Structure 1
């Protein structure tokens, strides 16, 4: 008899708890849409994903000008990439790599396909 009462209490308690959780979730969604948190989160994620390096930023990272030749750019890239590989940061190394990738199409002949870089 006690086991039956205990089982009923457990079943009723879990049902009440499940309804309370669903109600709390609905309220949280309503609050998020009222304050714009959901929209702000989506916009921030989109902004981060669409950040493409500009030519100006790439030139600034590599320390080159618009008059620099591809050989000068490649030399700066090799120097900065190796320096950051030894005792720098992976973040800076990847920025240097992205900067070279950004400038590469500008110096490639129009009829020659670009070679994939690792």
Structure 2
């Protein structure tokens, strides 16, 4: 009986170990792909740091605010419109307002990073 119990524990440990190793490899590959898409170097590091801090990617922020370019005026205009129509007093959603706010925050950060790099 003890022999079978030990075999089950060893087999279970091997399965968990292989799954953990596979998950680590996938996470590493995903982070390498994200770094490649971000452009690498200082600009890529700044981009990745802004994503991590805001908790939202640049692409997702653009989709939420529905902006093509990233001019400060366009972002502000879309933010004000979407924030206003999702006001809780008008039957809107606080959750959507928070997503809109985070998207604006992320795009503002990206605009400031680009401005710093161009100066």
**TM-score band (shorter)?**
0.3 to 0.5
Q: Which has the higher helix share?
A: 2
Bigger Rg, structure 1 or 2: 1
